[in-house]
Amino acid sequence: MTQAPLTGGRAVPSTRVNRLWHLGRATTDLAAGIGVRGLIDLARGNGASNSVQLSPAALQRVTSRLAHMRGAVMKMGQLMSMDGSDVLTPEAAAILGTLCDRAESMPLSQLAPLLETEYGKDWNRRFRRFGFTPVAAASIGQVHRAETADGRHLALKIQFPGVRESIDSDMDNLVFISRAIKGMDLQPMFAEARRQLHQEADYEAEANALETYRGLVGEGADFFVPDVHRDFSTGRILAMDFAEGIAIDRLAAPEFTRHDRDRAANLVMEIVLLELFQFSLVQTDPNFGNFLYQIDTGRVVLLDFGSTHPVPPAIVSGYRDLIRAAMADDRAAMYQSAIALGFAREDTPLEQTEAMLDLMRLSSEMMRHQGPYDFGASDLFKRIYERGRQLHEEGAFSQLPDPSSMFLYRKFLGAFMLCRRLRARVDLPRLLEPYL
């Protein structure tokens, strides 16, 4: 089909050869940006201590190619820019970070045959309206708004063709780029990203997770979780209630009130605690795009259950003990919990353990604060960052934490970052009280 692309996007490269070609071009741009000498060092894996220095123009070209590929490639860009402030140069982190917003949508010439394959030839009869321009495009799929023939307003998350099949080959091809970073061993991060991508590409599993989660949250005045519509869901399309709302971080703009900012941030903190202490089931993707806020109802909409993890009881009680210890400013008890949670081992050198405890104490400052903590007035993140950087330079963190235990840490960090973005006041001791 050679129809003009109505949605304006370029087709997602879907065959293996095609994807390899695009990745090859991104690598060529990377090579041009860092020069032959740098490339030889990287290919040998001896980037040593020097991080890759790219000109902003070269990085723009590389990210544009990565944004076009989407799938595994883009997800890695996002992951590296989120967790990798130490791994990437600041310019690279900033530009890779924009990958989150840059996703391109697939053109109609790719979308129409896909709908026909998933829903059958007369697929358009099943809808009263179908919005061909996606409401959002993400790393492995895009979201369309549609009204069914029987009047249901749906959000259809439609997976890009070929993305699922190409996860493994893309990840293998990306190993080359992984060497391009400070000579660090990124294999555990790659293995985790691969696992996460396979999980996120399984829309059947996501539909099940969404239903479970919706059952746990229920329908109330604070949260809304969309319901799954099985009759419009397939292996590559996840159909759910369309949820109205604005992206939660937009509340930072001056036209919104402090009341809404505080309410949204408190609710996000509340759901993080509910997930850990009540549901023992955590939605692990801390992306702000997974929360919408409804100004008229004051509810927070929870989206994207592609990476939902059960939390074993030992971890839940470990965190409970750690939080109790942090609130009581009891260093010995914090140490015990850090051991129990695997953040430190008994044979970890003393200075490293002390450094980690310092950082933990700093990061839990808002839990020892009486009354609402004003994230907008606090320079806590700057202090944590500076202290972390100093400790890193002193070599205090010789081991990266186990990626499988990183998700809870990321979740808390993501929630705190949102509180900071919204300049919100959050009374953490009050929110924690029922669980301690």
Ligand X SMILES: Nc1ncnc2c1ncn2[C@@H]1O[C@H](COP(=O)(O)OP(=O)(O)OP(=O)(O)O)[C@@H](O)[C@H]1O
How many Cα atoms within 13 Å fall on the side-chain side of residue 334?
Answer: 20
Residues 150-169 that bind ligand X (CB under 6 A): 155, 157
Q: Which is nearer to ligand X, 256 or 435 (CB)?
A: 256
Q: Which is nearer to ligand X, 11 or 246 (CB)?
A: 246
Q: Does 136 bind ligand X (CB under 6 A)?
A: yes
The SS3 call for residue 281 is strand
User: 201 in the Ramachandran plot: left (φ > 0), alpha (ψ -120 to 50) or beta?
Assistant: alpha
Q: Does 303 bind ligand X (CB under 6 A)?
A: yes
User: Residue from 278, 287, 297, 390 that binds ligand X (CB under 6 A)?
Assistant: 287
Stretch that binds ligand X, among 135-143, 330-338, 356-364, 372-380 (CB under 6 A): 135-143
Residues 241-280 that bind ligand X (CB under 6 A): 241-243
Give yes or no for a contact between 85 and 123, defined as CB atoms under 8 angstroms apart: no
Smallest Cα–Cα separation from 54: which of 82, 95, 25?
95
- With CB atoms as reference, the residue minimizing the distance to ligand X is 138
Residues 61-80 that bind ligand X (CB under 6 A): none
The SS3 call for residue 57 is helix
Q: Does 143 bind ligand X (CB under 6 A)?
A: yes
Give yes or no for a contact between 309 and 282, defined as CB atoms under 8 angstroms apart: yes
* Residue 193 to residue 39: CA distance in whole angstroms: 24
User: Residue from 186, 240, 338, 355 that binds ligand X (CB under 6 A)?
Assistant: 240
Stretch that binds ligand X, among 13-21, 35-43, 138-146, 322-330 (CB under 6 A): 138-146
**Which residues 6+ apart lie within 8 Å of 36 measured at CB?**
none
Q: Does 328 bind ligand X (CB under 6 A)?
A: no
Q: Which is nearer to ligand X, 164 or 425 (CB)?
A: 164
The answer to whether the Cα torsion of 212, 218, 222, 224 is positive or negative is positive
The SS3 call for residue 339 is helix
Q: How many residues bind ligand X (CB under 6 A)?
A: 22
Give yes or no for a contact between 60 and 95, defined as CB atoms under 8 angstroms apart: yes
Q: Which is nearer to ligand X, 13 or 141 (CB)?
A: 141
Site string for ligand X, 90-129 (x = CB under 6 A): ----------------------------------------
Helix (H) or strand (E) holding 299: strand 299-302
The SS3 call for residue 117 is helix
Q: Does 290 bind ligand X (CB under 6 A)?
A: yes
* Residue 100 to residue 77: CA distance in whole angstroms: 9
Stretch that binds ligand X, among 58-66, 134-142, 316-324, 337-345 (CB under 6 A): 134-142
Which residues form the interface with ligand X (CB under 6 A)? 135-136, 138-141, 143, 155, 157, 200, 226, 240-243, 285, 287, 289-290, 303-304, 306
